[in-house]
Amino acid sequence: MFKHLREEIDAIIARDPAARSWLEVIVCYPGLHALLMHRMAHFAWRKGWTLLGRMLSQLGRTLTGIEIHPGAVIGRRFFIDHGMGVVIGETAEIGDDVHMYHGVTLGGTSLARGKRHPTIRDRVIIGAGAKILGAIEIGEGARIGSNAVVVSNVPPGVTALGIPAKVAAPRDPAAAMAPTGFLPFLAYGTPCDELLDPMARRITALTEQIETLRQRIETLEAGDNGPHQNTLPRERTPT
């Protein structure tokens, strides 16, 4: 249940410039508390202890203001920033490295049992107050603008804005590719000028490679040379 805790804390530190230390994240981040409560609630739910799952979910909601149904399936390094007012429904599915701000709803539009909540693919960023409704799919690396109401599928890598949400024209073609792994995480979903600059992107890529090499050297020096083969990130090609 808690085996991914370390990478979840690391993800928060990497994605929130306000986060200064592990201790601060553990003590002060309701998104992390809600996620841990959800891991326990989901465990109970999958065991068939549905009332216990609902009770744990309710406790998490009371403590954090974040309501996650115990049946929701959530991937790794999920970060709810600020958190208050988030609602995630029973049949919602969330991939890896998804980032969400406060006031987001992953809601249903039907009373029918079965899949009725959204599927959010990897690396999606969902702005504050966005509502994503129904059994729709948000493609990998898409960005959902704050306060958007999304009622239909969103393709990978695009930005969806407004009510009802529509795909926005990219302000830079490179930015459109960014969230699908081309660029690092975009805080607030907003590509800053530094990230749009080809030289800055090359430097960012090289810095990531150096960090990966440093970690591999540390692992080798510690005598564990098992699972870290071929993990170098691809160098990004400036456009």
Q: Which residues bind ligand COA (CB under 6 A)?
A: 82, 101, 127-128, 143, 145-147, 159, 161-162, 168, 171, 188-191
As a whole number of angstroms, the distance between CA 66 and CA 82 comes to 10
Minimum CB–partner distance for residue 170 and ligand COA (Å): 7
Residue with Cβ nearer ligand COA (169 or 199): 169
Residue with Cβ nearer ligand COA (95 or 189): 189
Residue with Cβ nearer ligand COA (51 or 169): 169
Minimum CB–partner distance for residue 78 and ligand COA (Å): 16
Minimum CB–partner distance for residue 203 and ligand COA (Å): 21
Residue with Cβ nearer ligand COA (162 or 233): 162
Minimum CB–partner distance for residue 102 and ligand COA (Å): 7
Half-sphere exposure of 161 (CA within 13 A, CB side): 6
Exposure string (b/e) for 151-176, b if CB count within 10 Å is 16 or more? eeebebbbbbbeeebeeeeeeeebbb
Taking a C-beta distance cutoff of 8 angstroms, is the pair 126, 105 a contact? Answer: no
As a whole number of angstroms, the distance between CA 66 and CA 60 comes to 7
Residue with Cβ nearer ligand COA (168 or 200): 168
Going by the DSSP 8-state scheme, the letter that residue 235 receives in this structure is P
As a whole number of angstroms, the distance between CA 164 and CA 141 comes to 20
Minimum CB–partner distance for residue 106 and ligand COA (Å): 15
Query: For 107-197, where are the alpha helices, taking DSSP H only?
Result: 173-177, 193-196
